[in-house]
C-alpha cells in the first residue's frame, strides 16, 4: 500500500546544518552518547541539532523489544555503562541546555528493566545542571510500580510514556508493551504528582474516533501533555504508511485535545514526543 503513496507537499522539509549542528554532533560523539535522533532516524534531527538540542538515549542503543514502527536496533544489549550518567550530565552542561529530554531503549534483560540506571542518570544531570528542566520518556517497566517509582524518586519535571497508537492497532504495532499497561504506567506517574505526558503517531490505519477515544483514555488517567505526529516508515522492515494525514485533521486533534483538558497539545505532521518539548512545557503553565 505504501508504494502507491507519494509524500504530500507539507511533508517536504529542508535539511538544516550549521555551527550548532556541528557542536551537538561533536558533543554527543566525544562523550560516547546515543540519541534517539540518530537511532530512531528522526526527521527533525537536523532542525533540532541546528537549534542546539538533542534527545539523549541512555542504556545503550540496542533494544530488547522489536516494535514494528521503530528503527532502533533490536537484540541482546551490552552491559550498562557506569560512566554514562556523568557523561550525560556533562554533555548537557556543555550544551547549556535549559531543558533536556532523555529517553532509553527497553532493557527487559535487566532485573529492574533499567530503573536504577534511569535514577542514576537523572540524579547526575540534576546535580550538575540544577537549573535545567528534565523531561524523560520511559519504557513501561512492565507496569511494575516499584520500578516506575524509582524514576519518580529522581524527580524529573516531566515523565512521558508513549501509547504509540490506538487500542485496536496496539497489538499489531508494539511487540511487548500493551495499551492497558501503558495507561497504568501513566496513571502511576500522574498520581505521583509529576507531570505525565504521552504521544502517538497517526497514518497507520486508525480512525478519527479511535484517536479521540485514546485522548479520552489519557485524560482519564491524568495525562496532561500530548503529542501527535505523522508516522513515517523508517525502513523496509517497518510497517507501511497507510495514509498521510492532512494538517487540517492535525489541527482538529489539537483543538479536541485542549477541549478535553490537556494542558498542551502538539499536533502536526513532524511532531514527535520530544519535538519542541520545552515550548510545550512552557505553554502548559505547569512549571
Count of structural domains, the chain: 1
Most confident of 31-45, 50-64, 160-174: 160-174
| pLDDT at residue 33 in the model | 56
- pLDDT tens digits along 107-146: 999 999 999 999 999 999 999 999 999 999 999 999 999 9
CATH number, domain with residue 47: 3.20.20.70
Mean pLDDT, residues 154-160 taken together: 96
Q: With beta carbons less than 8 A apart as the criterion, state whether 262 and 221 touch.
A: no
Q: Where are the alpha helices (DSSP H) in the chain?
A: 19-30, 36-39, 45-50, 84-94, 115-128, 145-153, 170-173, 179-191, 208-220, 247-260, 277-284
Would 275 be classed as within a structural domain? yes
**Mean pLDDT of all residues in the chain?**
86
Label residue 6 left, alpha or beta by phi (over 0 means left) and psi (-120 to 50 means alpha): beta
How far is the C-alpha of 281 from the C-alpha of 287, rounded, in Å?
A: 7
| pLDDT at residue 20 in the model | 56
Would 59 be classed as within a structural domain? yes
Cβ neighbors of 128 (< 8 A, separation 6 or more) are 86, 89, 90, 92, 93
Most confident of 13-17, 56-60, 156-160: 156-160
Inform me whether the pLDDT recorded for 1 exceeds 50: no
Would 1 be classed as within a structural domain? no
Inform me whether the pLDDT recorded for 225 exceeds 90: yes
Would 92 be classed as within a structural domain? yes
- pLDDT tens digits along 62-85: 999 888 878 788 899 999 999 999
Would 242 be classed as within a structural domain? yes
Full domain range(s) for residue 56: 15-284
Question: What are the distances in angstroms from CA 128 to CA 58, 68, 91, 123, 131?
Answer: 17, 37, 10, 9, 9
Would 6 be classed as within a structural domain? no
Would 249 be classed as within a structural domain? yes
How far is the C-alpha of 217 from the C-alpha of 237, rounded, in Å?
A: 30
Would 3 be classed as within a structural domain? no
Cβ neighbors of 14 (< 8 A, separation 6 or more) are none
| pLDDT at residue 250 in the model | 97
Question: What are the distances in angstroms from CA 68 to CA 24, 139, 164, 216?
Answer: 29, 16, 11, 25
- pLDDT tens digits along 12-47: 665 555 555 555 556 656 655 555 444 445 554 445
Amino acid at each position: 500500500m505504501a508504494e502507491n503513496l507519494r509524500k504530500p507537499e507539507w511533508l517536504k522539509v529542508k535539511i538544516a546544518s550549521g555551527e550548532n549542528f556541528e557542536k551537538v554532533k561533536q558533543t554527543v560523539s566525544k562523550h560516547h552518547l546515543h540519541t534517539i535522533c540518530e537511532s530512531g532516524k528522526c526527521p527533525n534531527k537536523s532542525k533540532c541539532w541546528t537549534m542546539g538540542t538533542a534527545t539523549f538515549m541512555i542504556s545503550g542503543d540496542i533494544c530488547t523489544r522489536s516494535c514494528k514502527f521503530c528503527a532502533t536496533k533490536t537484540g541482546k544489549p551490552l552491559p550498562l555503562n557506569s560512566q554514562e550518567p556523568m557523561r550525560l550530565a556533562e554533555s548537557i552542561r556543555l550544551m547549556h541546555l535549559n531543558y533536556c529530554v532523555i529517553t532509553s531503549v527497553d532493557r527487559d534483560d535487566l532485573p529492574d528493566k533499567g530503573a536504577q540506571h534511569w535514577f542514576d542518570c537523572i540524579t547526575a544531570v540534576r546535580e550538575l545542571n540544577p537549573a535545567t528542566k528534565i523531561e524523560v520518556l520511559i519504557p513501561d517497566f512492565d507496569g511494575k510500580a516499584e520500578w516506575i517509582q524509582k524514576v519518580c524518586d529522581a524527580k524529573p519535571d516531566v515523565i512521558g510514556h508513549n501509547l504509540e497508537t490506538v487500542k485496536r492497532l496496539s497489538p499489531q504495532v508494539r511487540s511487548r508493551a500493551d495499551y492497558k499497561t501503558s495507561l497504568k504506567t501513566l496513571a502511576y506517574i500522574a498520581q505521583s504528582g509529576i507531570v505525565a505526558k504521552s504521544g502517538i503517531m497517526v497514518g497507520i490505519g486508525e480512525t478519527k474516533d479511535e484517536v479521540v477515544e485514546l485522548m479520552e483514555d489519557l485524560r482519564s488517567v491524568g495525562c496532561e501533555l500530548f503529542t501527535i505526529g505523522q508516522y513515517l516508515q523508517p525502513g523496509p522492515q517497518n510497517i507501511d504508511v497507510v495514509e498521510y494525514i492532512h494538517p487540517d485533521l492535525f489541527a482538529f486533534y489539537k483543538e479536541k485535545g485542549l477541549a478535553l483538558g490537556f494542558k498542551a497539545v502538539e499536533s502536526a505532521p513532524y511532531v514527535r514526543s520530544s519535538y519542541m518539548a520545552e515550548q510545550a512545557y512552557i505553554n502548559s503553565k505547569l512549571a
